[in-house]
Each structure stands twice: as C-alpha cells, then as structure tokens.
A = this chain, B = another copy of it.
C-alpha cells in the first residue's frame, strides 16, 4: 500500500481485509513485524488521539515514530510560494517536508482546512500540496476533507457491535458546537456508511446541508454497495428505526469562513444537543457514535455519553488497531 488517503480508493473487499488484519493484530500481537521501521508524523494542526494512537501503533509492531509540528521549527514553517523569507519563519515546507519524509519509511500528515475558500478545502488543496513534497508512502491523518483512519475505525466498530452492513440504518446528525467545525469527519463518515451499504440519513438543520460534491460522492458509493443516502431536517423522521446515530458538527457552506455570520445563523440551534428524547422512535439499542473530542452538555448530554448507547471509547481504541493494519500493509516486508 502506497497511500491511505480516502476509503473511496479501496474496494469493500480491501477494507474488510484491513479490518480483519486489525482484529488479528489485536488478538495475536506481532511485536517484530515492523522492526526498525519509522513513521514520520507531521502535524500542521493540533492532535491528541491521532498522535498517540499512531505512536502506540508503531511501538506495538517494533517500530517507532517521530513528531514534527510547526512550533518545533525555530520560528514556524513558511508555506507560501515565491516569498522573501526575511520575517520570523526560518524554514519553508518545500525543504522541511521532503527532509522529514526522508527520515521515515512512511509519513502521516495532518493538515486542517485553511477555511479561506470552500472549493480549495473540498479539493483538499493544502493536503495535496504537502504530499506532493514527500517521496514516501503516506497516510492522511485528517485533512480539510477526509479522515480515512477515523472512518475505518468506525466501520470496524460497527462490525464489532454486529451492526448490519446492508440495510443497517445509519443517522448522521449535525449538532451544535461553539466553533465552526471542519467538514473532514462528516464527509468521511457519510462516505464510509454509504460504502458499507447502509441506509444513511444526514440529519441537519436548514443551512447545514453537506456540499454537493460530498453528497454526490456518497450517493455513488451507495449505488455500488446497495445502500442509500438521503438528507432531512426532520429529527423524528430521521431517527425512526435508527440503529446508530453518528454525531458531529460542521460548518455551514452558506457562511463558510465567516464565523460571525455562522454564529448568528446558528443562535437558535442550541437544542441540537443529543439527548434521550432523540431516541424515541429509534431502535431500542440505537448506538451513539462520535469521533471525539466531544463537548459534554453542548453536543450531547452526560447521560447519553455515560450510558450504554455510547461506543465512543471503542471507536477511539479502534483507531489504533486499524492504523496498525494500514501500517502493517504499508511497511511490513513480509
């Protein structure tokens, strides 16, 4: 495997193979599989779970990692082209990225949306610029528009729970959040659930429609897998017979990169905080999923998060396991 950037690059069979490998590595550790192998970790945005789950993943197979974040360079990294660097930045990504990549056998890169231009972010422009500078296999550790490690972990989590693939009812709901949030997880999630063959309902208030490029891609996947993708702002209708609700917040495409306008627009939407009444028409054991970090009392109530519906810790642990599988396929010589 030369890159892991988008679940859509893989067939369902290939995804199932990765998940099978993740399960095997959980049950039968291979502490020497990646002897002496090094994964470079480049974070242009902060991280907790992604950082430590990759660090642990490499150690568990006999390799290791090193971490680069922009604050580690003497005065930050410059990324603009054609610039005269007589300010504070002492290093340009055009040197830093190839060098960092050359110290590892593969590189993981995280680069959030720049939030200047929706089309740039939908095209994952910054991430594509960065990986073009690296001469090794690479892993998308969350970009403006994708988060394949999270989605693979979520797929495995549903498998672990015995949630049906074809015909399973998956509700992906927007929730309130004090900040404008990225499109990466929502875009990756709808794609994943559609590829898994589920009947996906995107539940969101008006104005928070996912952009067409995201929905169209997911609908294409659903057409292949036998699933479906619809959207609505009717909560009761969406949750009816739901087997899992996957919760997230994302920015309004209408007010993209305009925090003040979005803040005003969502003033009345604080009731988009998941609580037990949401589950009235859902399947009795309907699960609650979230990629973390999650804001208690804002996105979801304590009783849901602390109750039996929540599988958020299992999702997070699966991050490590599926990343081990990806790294094993990417770096293991055997």
Given A48-B73, A99-B49, A103-B52, is A60 in contact with B36 using a C-beta cutoff of 8 Å?
A: yes
Of residues 87 through 135 on chain A, the ones whose CB sits less than 8 Å from some CB of chain B are 90-92, 94-96, 98-100, 102-104
Interface check A72, CB cutoff 8 A:
yes
Beta-carbon contact of A313 and B99 below 8 Å: yes
Of residues 53 through 112 on chain A, the ones whose CB sits less than 8 Å from some CB of chain B are 53, 55-56, 58-68, 72-74, 78, 82-86, 90-92, 94-96, 98-100, 102-104
Beta-carbon contact of A298 and B86 below 8 Å: yes
Beta-carbon contact of A92 and B46 below 8 Å: no
Stretch at the interface among A5-13, A213-221, A288-296: A288-296
A-B contact pairs, 6 of them (CB 8 A): A29-B36, A52-B100, A64-B64, A91-B292, A95-B294, A102-B320
Residues of B within 8 A of A248 (CB): none
Interface check A40, CB cutoff 8 A:
yes
Of residues 32 through 54 on chain A, the ones whose CB sits less than 8 Å from some CB of chain B are 32, 35-38, 40, 46, 48-49, 51-53
Residues of B within 8 A of A295 (CB): 85-86, 90
Interface check A14, CB cutoff 8 A:
no
Beta-carbon contact of A305 and B94 below 8 Å: yes
Total contacting residues, chain A, CB less than 8 A: 65
Interface check A317, CB cutoff 8 A:
yes
Residues of B within 8 A of A56 (CB): 38, 40, 64, 66, 103-104
Beta-carbon contact of A85 and B40 below 8 Å: no
Of the candidates B67, B95, B306, the one whose C-beta lies within 8 Å of that of A313 is: B95
* Chain B nearest Cβ from A215, distance in angstroms: 28
Interface check A237, CB cutoff 8 A:
no
Beta-carbon contact of B313 and A98 below 8 Å: yes
Interface check A312, CB cutoff 8 A:
yes
Interface check A297, CB cutoff 8 A:
yes
Residues of B within 8 A of A2 (CB): none
Residues of B within 8 A of A312 (CB): 95
